[in-house]
Amino acid sequence: MHVLNMTFFPSQTKNAWKFPGGLSDLGENIDETAVWEVFEETGVRSQFRSLLSIRQQHKLPGAFGMSDMYLICRLSPLSHHINLCTQECLRCEWLDLSELAETSETTPITSRIATLLLYGLDNGFHDIDLTMKQLPAVYPGSFYQLYHRRLPEV
């Protein structure tokens, strides 16, 4: 399996492979942000599958004085042609997932997520995916998205 990866500009981080990503706009759901950011940075259209993991950090210089939560989503590509956004990164290409998990030219989180994806491919994603279910809120006409592991079939 191949995954889409980009290299950041060296001024933002070390010149390393990473997954596309970005900030959510006010009122934008996790799935919408993930699909949009991949398209904006790479030109690849995709479909949301699940939330894979959450990383939390505190006191980062680029986090506007706030704690930072980084949500990593699993998407399926709907297109494969890359149209690189040169303002966001230096390179963008499809990489073999097993190579990405082993390379030293990546960030620790990218390597870990590549390993998690390999596990999902070998053993099924039911053990690692957090799927999304839209549920009605207590306020009439309002809804929220709940992310959780799939319930066992009964």
| C-alpha angle 13-14-16 in degrees, rounded to nearest 5 | 110
Residues 6+ apart with CB under 8 A from 31: 48, 73, 132, 145
Q: Which amino acid is at 74?
A: R
In terms of C-beta density within 10 A (0-12 exposed, 13-18 middle, 19 or more buried), how is residue 75 classed? buried
Q: Three-state SS for 84? A: coil
* Active-site residue list: 40
Q: CA 57 → CA 8, 53, 68, 70, distances in Å?
A: 20, 14, 5, 8
Sign, CA dihedral 3-76-39-23, equals negative
